[in-house]
Structure 1
Amino acid sequence: MLRFIKGFCLFSAAALGAAAPPALAAGDLLVAPTRVILDGSRGTEVVLNNIGSESATYRISLEIKRMTAAGGLDEIDEANATPAERAALDMIAFSPRRVTLPPNQPQVIRVGVRLPEGLAPGEYRAHMLFRAVPDATPAVAADPARPAPTGVSIALTPIYGITIPIIVRVGDLGVTATIGDARVGVTKDGPAFEFDLARSGDRSVYGDIEVTRPGVAEPLLLARGIAVYPEVGERRVSLPVPPELAAQLKGPVHIRYSEDRDIGGGTIAEADRVVK
């Protein structure tokens, strides 16, 4: 049984079309691509699409997130930003910053970078946040035939948001990755296939995971969008799996970490492991 997982991102992947890049969806908002890499030579575009039945307004902003050893992303207040994080916020430019989308109406967000003179080589990253702006609740006229309500009434309105990394690379940067020991662990949500993924170099690494049984061509497990950012040298990759697949993953396996298919799918790292 093949299990496919969208690994690093917080929201499930969707498709805009057969030839379109992967997209993220939350609520009625679809965003593509799921990450942006800029080298300063030219800008790019991010496409938003409202797949709902009503118009919706979204606010676009930049924020700082740092990866943890567990693979999560912590939001960092700007007051606690490092010089590199502050530089990323200052150099990344985008427009517009607020959009109202009719149903099934795409909107292009133009993204560019202004590299300051003398900027040191390295990777600079901020995360672009697309957050829904809730409609104002219209006032309801009092009905004289009904008694006035008493007590406190609370209405909860969910506010959806999507973040994608905006990465600026300056200079000739390199990276290598190493796959550590693998295991089937138990999380609060059930079993998970886990292994340590180490990174060395001066930029992030990003790609797909494929787990196969020696001598069997069809993968047991596929996971897309697994990243290790420069602020961590190693992270734990934890991929939730159903109990029946967890049992199949135990024993000898081959783990391959490869580049995104959009840039060729070359091997970043691979290892033979015995899963316990």
Structure 2
Amino acid sequence: MAGELIRLGVPKGSLQDATLKLFAKAGWNIRLHHRNYFPDIDDPEIKCSLSRAQEMAMYVERGTFDVGLTGKDWVMEYDSDVVVVDDLIYSKVSNRPARWVLCVAGNSPYKRPEDLEGKKVATELCGFTEKYFKSIGVNVDVSFSWGTTEAKVVEGLCDAIVEITETGTTIKANGLRIIAELMQTNTQLIANKEAWADPAKRKKIEEMNLLLQGALRAEKLVGLKMNMPKAQMEAAQDVMPAQTSPTVAELKDPSWVSVEIVVEESTVRDIIPKLKELGAEAIIEYPLNKVI
């Protein structure tokens, strides 16, 4: 189909660079413009717009965007009525879910969420935090934080905070202590319900998800290619943890074969020396963009 088919919301802020990198590996190059919220993309069927991750689900639910990327936390925060197409486990720091945690000052007497009865809690995730404390029967005063949330505990403006973290480094650096994990979150590909019901738009969104997932899957994988003595193939297969059976091709010399495998990048340092001991030659390691 020629012309614009779907409107894509790209998260602005901390996830922006990681999102652009992921789309590039998936096959779409998105180019930003200075002080412009409408990036270019090399696909005439897609129109891009930037949006804060906190507002993305709202715009997708309203139909401003047909599809967008945002955190599971923000979908839950506003009970957004959208289709969750799939999880996309990536972030600005690591390929693992971030955590929303309940924190207090390091010297605070509070050790459990229940100890905060009647106390003040600051967070950007107000709706979810209120629902969490209600679910455990604890009454707290939840207030919205506009940023620098960690400092509010240190300055005595609140008794606890609910903040997002991946490594916990910033929380520890501010002298805070985690007393509970409230939720794990990750990026999700979400779609407007009407767009999802449109066959052409749904097909495009599903194809996008397929390639994004393939790019994510490839991030920790590499390809290995080598020539191997045919007599050593059985022994070689015992040290090759391939995603599937290795690809083996005959060479002009009938005593040798060409072998190609896909493996975890972290295992290469152990595999290559073992293959070399078995007589492998011309071993080539190469990066992968997508694994479908």
Please tell me the TM-score bracket, short chain as reference.
Answer: under 0.3
> Of Structure 1 and Structure 2, which has the larger fraction of its residues in helix?
2
**TM-score (norm. length: structure 2):** 0.22
**TM-score (norm. length: structure 1):** 0.23
Q: Which has the larger radius of gyration?
A: 2
